Amino acid sequence: MAAETASRVAIVTGAARGIGAATAWRLAQDGFAVALLDLDVESCAEAAEKINASGGRALAAAVDVSDSEQVTAVVQKVADELGAPTVLVNNAGILRDNLLFKMTDDDWDAVMNVHLRGAFLMSRAVQKFQTEQGWGRIVNLSSTSALGNRGQANYATAKAGLQGFTKTLAIELGKFGVTVNAIAPGFIATEMTAATAARIKVDFEDFKKAAASQIPVARVGTPDDIAHTVSFLVSEGAGFVSGQVIYVAGGPKD
Ligand code: NAP
């Protein structure tokens, strides 16, 4: 366990599966105590238990990141049970894809609430501990969809919004030793992309093959690809990297 991270506490939202679960596991391997948060505590319990059984420290807790009261309560719970949280990975996310003319008010609001309001509420609650400690790391999950993607007016807007949020928090929190960055993944094989394949009635293996054929490194991404990048951004040595958006997409994006 790295000495500098021995007492550091990380929160990962949407940690039940996919990128969040891989990130929670990776940060535990890096020596962080990890709070795995998701809508349903049961969905994270096994992953937290696995970390504890491997000699790490973890807890699972339920939160809807778009609910202000729940966010305040869960961040305090993490502070009480694991210690002051100084690392936050805003990963919780949902899709409500549809072409604009079919997109409902609820499709729009639900996506804004989880991605934007959720990242805002979680970051506001955690920065209190980060600024007190004089050290912190926030990583927001954006997406290549921020550059525009058919059928994702809501999601693309939220993911582009997270990039502005990232740069602004980097400016505000830098003097407190807190860095804030965003990762914009391309195609990562998770239940989220599997659900997209199911929605458009394409076999997931075929969907992945078609995606890989358009990706310079000739494969789709894995949750570990993203967890590895989070691991770098929250490390001690990444203290001069802030306000950046890192596209992790197997090739260049602009
Ligand atoms: P995933 O497999 O769908 O996992 C997302 C997790 O977030 C789920 O466990 C979900 O819980 C949880 N969640 C949803 N709403 C929540 C809320 N209000 N409060 C707390 N937790 C909530 O997604 P993923 O593919 O790992 O993606 C993780 C992040 O990366 C997302 O922000 C996504 O937009 C972003 N991303 C993914 C890709 C990709 O290709 N997979 C690409 C670019 C960006 P439930 O299961 O209970 O709903």
HEC profile of the chain: CCHHHCCCEEEEECCCCHHHHHHHHHHHHCCCEEEEEECCHHHHHHHHHHHHHCCCCEEEEECCCCCHHHHHHHHHHHHHHCCCEEEEEECCCCCCCECHHHCCHHHHHHHHHHHHHHHHHHHHHHHHHHHHHCCEEEEEECCHHHHCCCCEHHHHHHHHHHHHHHHHHHHHHHHHCEEEEEEEECCECCHHHHHHHHHCCCCHHHHHHHHHCCCCCCCCECHHHHHHHHHHHCCHHHCCCCCCEEEECCCCCC
pLDDT class for 15, splitting at 50, 70, 90? Answer: very high
Q: In this predicted structure, what is the pLDDT of residue 254?
A: 78
Q: What average pLDDT does range 99-105 have in this prediction?
A: 98
113 CA distance to ligand 1 middle (Å)? 13
117 lines ligand 1 (CB under 6 A): no
For atom 1 of ligand 1, the residue with the nearest CA is 192
Could you report the per-residue pLDDT of 123-146, keeping only the tens digit for each?
999 999 999 999 999 999 999 999
**Is pLDDT above 50 for 178?**
yes
Reply yes or no on whether the pLDDT at 4 is more than 70: no
- Work out the percent of the chain whose per-residue pLDDT is above 70: 97
Mutate which of 63, 67, 70, 94 for ligand 1 pocket (most atoms within 8 A of beta carbon): 94
Q: What is the mean pLDDT of the chain?
A: 96
Report residue 7's pLDDT band, with 50, 70 and 90 as the boundaries. Answer: low
Domain ranges in the chain are 3-186+224-248, 187-220
The pTM score is: 0.97
Give the per-residue pLDDT at 66: 98
**Residue 19, ligand 1, Cβ within 6 A:** yes
Q: Hey, which residues are catalytic here? A: 155
- What residue owns the CA closest to ligand 1's atom 44? 143
The answer on pLDDT for 14 being more than 70 is yes
The stretch 10-30 carries a mean pLDDT of: 98
Q: How far is the CA of 93 from the centre of ligand 1 (A)?
A: 4
Measured in Å, residue 95 CA sits from the centre of ligand 1 at: 8
- Asked whether the predicted pLDDT for residue 1 surpasses 60, the reply is no
Domain 3-186+224-248 sits in which CATH superfamily? NAD(P)-binding Rossmann-like Domain (3.40.50.720)
For residue 3, pLDDT beyond 70: no
Stretch 189-203: mean pLDDT, rounded?
Answer: 96
Quick: pLDDT tens for 202-244. Answer: 999 999 999 999 999 999 999 999 999 999 999 999 999 999 9
What number does the ligand 1 atom closest to the CA of 65 have?
Answer: 19
- How many Å lie between the centroid of ligand 1 and the Cα of residue 66? 13
Q: What pLDDT shows up at residue 2?
A: 47
Q: In the predicted model, what is the mean pLDDT of residues 51-69?
A: 98
Atom of ligand 1 nearest to the CA of 155: 34
Does ligand 1 lie within 6 Å of residue 17's CB atom?
yes
Average pLDDT over residues 31-53: 97
State whether the beta carbon of 206 lies less than 6 angstroms from ligand 1: no
